[in-house]
Structures are given as structure tokens and as C-alpha cells.
Structure 1
Amino acid sequence: MTGSEFVLYARVHRGVAVLATTAAIALLSAFFGGTHIALPSIGSGGVTTGVPFRHELPLLSAVFLTAALDGAMSAHDEMGASAAHRFRLNYCIGLTLTACASSFITEALAVSAEAGVVFIRSLLIWFGLALLSVRLFGRQLGWIIPLASAFFLIWYPRNWWDWTSNSVTDRFSWAVAVLVLSLGVAATAATPWRRKTFLSGADGRSAPGPEA
């Protein structure tokens, strides 16, 4: 694929808009991420606690990244050949890495490198959940599962499962990131055409042979 074709592909799949939005979110975290949002917490006895704004901002970046899967040719993309799927995968990986790099650099300069890594870890976890949500509920509803998880983290903050506040070396949080992102990528790869092909192959293998 030529450079002009790649630019056209990125334009149709909202590449510039996605990167601009994730960069704006990173800047928002840099300038206002330390602001504490007063929210009720079930886990702290129902009292109002302050949640740092930057803890939840990666959710927005993750949901906006799924916009790359939508667009005027989204249905055509899912029915494309293997080469088209590989290009789509490489495009999404490049878009995600670019968004992660800009977010990390901004957060590292504003706070610290550790804060930048935690921001990226949260982004990847919510991105995996957003991909699952897109597959389960549709391309416009990638926010459902991430938002549900955010409410859980807000209501029960600062526990061992809270990946937004765990240290950069927390193994559980990284294991969650790897698991959820893998599930999200697998869900994205499971297009209707591939599922139909897989089920047809499974039915063919399980069919009994002709009787003697």
C-alpha cells in the first residue's frame, strides 16, 4: 500500500481525530490531573473521597481509540481478505502506540516517568475492555464496560485491584493489562466471517463419516 493510500485509510478511519483527541486528553491530565474529584465511595463507608482526575482520564483515551474501528468502511473491513486484516491490525497497533507514546511523554514531563507508565497501563486495560465492549454491544458502545469498571474502582478505591493507583511495579495490574488486552484483541479479530468459518469447520470435523 502506497503512502497516499495509507493517508486515505487513516482519514477514513479517523486517525488524525483519534490522535488529536488522545493528545488533548494527555494535556488535560498534565494540567488538571492532580485535581481531586469529590465522589462517594462505598468502600470507605459511604464518605466522600477525592479521586485524582488523572486516574480516570486514560478511560477516555481508550474509548476514543476504538473509534479507529468505526467509520464509513468498518463493515467492509470486517469482510476483507487476510491482507486487509493485517493492514488494519498494523494500523491500529501504530495508532495505539502513537497515542501511548504521546500520553507517556506528556505525563512524564508533567509529573514523573512512573506516573506516565501507570497512565499507559490504565489506558491499555481500558482499551482492552473497550474492544470487548465494541464486540459485544456495537462500535458506538465501546464505553459501556470501561465505564462500569471505573465506577467499581471509584466506589472501592485504593484496594489491591485498583490498577489506577497501584505502583508501577504491581504485578497484578500488569497481569490484568496483558489478559484484558489479549481478550480485546481476540474479540476484535473474531469477525462475523471468521466466526462463521470457524463454526463451519468445526461442524465439518464433528460430522460422522459414512456408514460402511
Structure 2
Amino acid sequence: MSAALMMLGWIVGQKQVSLPSASADGMSDVPFSQFLALPLAVLAVSMLHSPMTTIEAAAPAVLERASRLLLATSTVGLGLLSAVVYATAAGSPAHGAAYLRGYALTCGLALLGGRLQGWDRSWILPLATTFPVVFYGFEWKATPRWWNVYAQPIEAIPATVLTSLLLVCGIAAWALNPLRMGMILRRARQLPATLRQPDPAGRKSHPSRGREQHDREPPSPEQSHAARHRR
């Protein structure tokens, strides 16, 4: 499937698709790279799905390392390979870099959706964002809004910042497996009890309270005898 998608990217190159939108002229030129990045990113992330969900929920160290290696290999490998194919077909390295940024954004969305809905449903969140990006992502036919990462050139800093934030959120969501979530919740529940525990070394009384307590203590026999002698 990935080979077929890359072959399709080689054929279409930097072509665009005219689709209805909410722009002033009612149409928008959507780069085909958006429709190429979505299935490849979802395919890479969906490799995390496994029928052994009960075992993997415990996140043993061996399975966690294997999952980390699989995710890095699939996402980085497919992203770089498809970016090279797309840049060669478009005849511009800048187009390949812009495609790679859109691919990274889709990977972040797929990781978020996979953690929330299951890795076999990681396609739902990226697909749900396709309509608003296509329909509302253009001011004019060929003028994308700043948050339309797929249609922005590689020099657009806001689009790069948005992609970085979503990618970091996606990686954090993937790392927050059920075992780590349970540990965090247990520590959060234990924190108030820890704060309420008394000081093992004993709490020091306030100086004013100590003086008041000393004033209320009865005098010793020696003190009483000395007082009578002074009288």
C-alpha cells in the first residue's frame, strides 16, 4: 500500500486539486500532498495496533522498547522516503520539505487519535480535520490561512510552530501508556496523605506559645524556697 501511494505521489508531483471551499471565490486549490501524507502517516502509526492489548497495557520493558523502535522506523522511514519521492517528482527540495512538515503534523494527529481511540482507529482524528482544513483553510483560491500547514510554504514559521506543537503532543500521548497513567494517578492520590504526615523529628512549638506554657508551669521547690528567703 505504501509503495502504491508513493507511486501515486511520483505521478501527480506538485499538482493541485480544485475543491469547493468557504473562500471568497468558492473554490480552493488543495495540494495533493495533503491527501498523500494522510494515509501514509496513518499507516505508519497504525502499526502499533496489536491484538495483545491486555499484555501490552502492562508495558513491559521489552515490549516498550520494541514499540518505540517500530514507531520510529515506520514513521521516519515512510516520511523520508515519501518526501524524497515527492520532491523528485515536483522538481523542488522545498516542496519535499513542505510535504514532510505536513506529514509530521498528520503523524501527531494520528498519535493523539490512536491513544484516545485505539491504534486501529488512529485514522479518525486526521480524517476529521481534513474537511475543515480543505473547506475553511483558504482566504482566496490560492491563498492559504496560516494554520493550513499543508498549503503553506516551508518558510512559513507559524505553520512550522503549529506542527512542532502537535507532534510533541502526539509523542507525549503515545508515551503516556496505561501503566504510566496509573502510576501518575496513584502518586497524585498519595500526595495529600504525604503532606498530612507529621514531622518525624517532632514539630517545634511557636516561641510565644512556649513562653506562655512556661509562665503557667508551677515553680519548683528550690524556686519557692528562694522566694521565701528573699522575703
Report TM bin, short chain.
Answer: 0.7 to 0.9
Aligned to 1:58: 37
2:44 maps to amino acid: L
Equivalent residue, structure 2, for 1:122: 102
Q: 1:197 to 1:174 in 2, by over 3 A?
A: same
Candidates 25, 35, 42, aligned match of 2:22:
42
Matched, 1:96 2:75: yes
- Cα gap change, 1:44 to 1:153, in 2 (>3 Å): farther
Counterpart check, 1:202 vs 2:194: no
- The answer as to whether partners of 2:45 and 2:75 remain within 8 angstroms in 1 is no
Q: 2:86 aligns with which of 101, 107, 123?
A: 107
Listed one character per residue, the Cα deviations across residues 86-140 of structure 1 (whole Å, up to 9, x for unaligned) are 3321221122111112112101211121111111111110110111111122223
Q: Structure 2 counterpart of 1:68, which letter?
A: M
The aligned amino acid for 1:107 is Y
- Is 134-143 or 107-116 further displaced after alignment? 134-143
Provide the C-alpha distance between the structure 1 equivalents of 2:117 and 2:78, rounded to a whole number of angstroms: 24
1:173 aligns with 159
Query: TM-score under structure 2 normalisation?
Result: 0.75
What secondary structure, in the 3-state scheme, does the structure 2 residue paired with 1:60 have?
helix
Q: Aligned equivalents of 1:133 and 1:100: distance in 2?
A: 19
**Structure 1 stretches of 5 or more lacking a match?**
1-20
Percentage identity across paired residues of the two chains: 28
Could you list the per-position Cα deviations for residues 8-61 of structure 1 after superposition, in whole angstroms to 9, with x for gaps in the alignment?
xxxxxxxxxxxxx3332222122125444342101335x233423223221111
- Give the letter aligned to residue 125 of structure 2: I
Secondary structure of 1:64's counterpart equals: helix
CA distance 1:189–1:100, shift in 2 (3 Å): same
Residue 30 of structure 1 aligns with which residue?
10
- Contact 2:101–2:163 (CA<8 Å) still a contact in 1? yes
User: What's the counterpart of residue 212 of structure 2?
Assistant: none
The count of residues paired between Structure 1 and Structure 2 equals: 191
Aligned equivalents of 1:176 and 1:83: distance in 2? 33
Going from structure 1 to structure 2, the CA distance change for 1:33 and 1:54 (only over 3 Å counts) comes to farther
Cα 1:171–1:36 change in 2 (3 A) is: closer
User: Does the 8 A contact of 1:56 with 1:164 survive in 2?
Assistant: no
CA contact (8 A) 2:48 2:119 kept: yes
Structure whose alpha-carbon radius of gyration is higher = 2
